[in-house]
Structure 1
């Protein structure tokens, strides 16, 4: 399933990139997403950075059909590779689960602000219900991204 979500910030792309490259921001986002635990490693890489966020997430809000696959908690490993301030790749894996999400993130100047565009290919390899589970996964990813945007807007306004 194709997934696309656009976030907007009232700050220029260089400030948004600096925020995304800050481990303290990533930790604040994980806390706001109410993950059970998060091990975040952010490493500068040339003009960009590499992010590895290994999380244990609570699945209490998922429908019973999804909880059968995910369990009471699930592990999500988020990997981002930013070549530079313009964007990079994103991958979300759940080790041991038949799910994946791979795609890109881009930062684009939009007037005086920035658009962050996330595009993913979401796959759930479960016969008969894979499509429904992909839609649930897309909703979960969208909710997480929206929490990140809320934390990001506050961060850029000086709330750190």
Structure 2
């Protein structure tokens, strides 16, 4: 069984500007510092002719985990997230996201899309959370999906604030 995640955010800035911020190493590091939890780090960053690929590490203390998860992760969670994003035409970017909860039978995969719209740009993450635990996997998927949605909302707010601060 799997749980779908759909996250959509809009910005008054064009896709090209949002893309430049989303892939900026300083922004990624600042976002991790503020939102990434214990052990947060930019583990890998590479640029090639096709776009950008990076791997982020997030940490969550046990006390901040929902009670059904605390027993499965008595020392907290370490989450590694790999994203790629590349140009796909004027004002359009596409990519992928792969999330692994290290040491737990939980993961997420998804597609990323950033496009110009009439009033700015739209960023969409369309993903699937999977937890492979008999009997409680479905419930755990709901908990993980809700946590991912919270993080995406916080990251969107952080990115919008960064854009407002750094744009002329």
Please give the TM-score of this superposition, normalised by the length of structure 2: 0.88
Matched, 1:33 2:40: no
- Compare 63-72 and 3-12 and name the one that shifted more: 63-72
Uncovered stretches (5+) of structure 2, i.e. residues with no partner: none
> Is the Cα–Cα contact under 8 Å of residues 36 and 59 in structure 2 kept in the other structure?
no
What's the CA shift for 1:54? Answer: 2.1
Task: Tell me how many residue pairs correspond in the alignment.
Answer: 160
Matched, 1:9 2:11: yes
The 3-state SS of whatever aligns with 1:69 is: coil
Residue of structure 2 equivalent to 1:89: 96
Cα root mean square deviation, aligned = 1.7
Matched, 1:45 2:33: no
Matched, 1:69 2:72: yes
Residue of structure 2 equivalent to 1:137: 144
Residues 107 and 148 (structure 1 numbering): CA distance in 2 closer, same or farther, change over 3 Å?
A: same
* C-alpha separation in 1, matches of 2:152 and 2:36: 13
* C-alpha separation in 2, matches of 1:62 and 1:99: 14
* C-alpha separation in 2, matches of 1:77 and 1:149: 19
Uncovered stretches (5+) of structure 1, i.e. residues with no partner: none
The 3-state SS of whatever aligns with 1:55 is: strand
Please give the TM-score of this superposition, normalised by the length of structure 1: 0.92
> Is the Cα–Cα contact under 8 Å of residues 60 and 72 in structure 1 kept in the other structure?
no
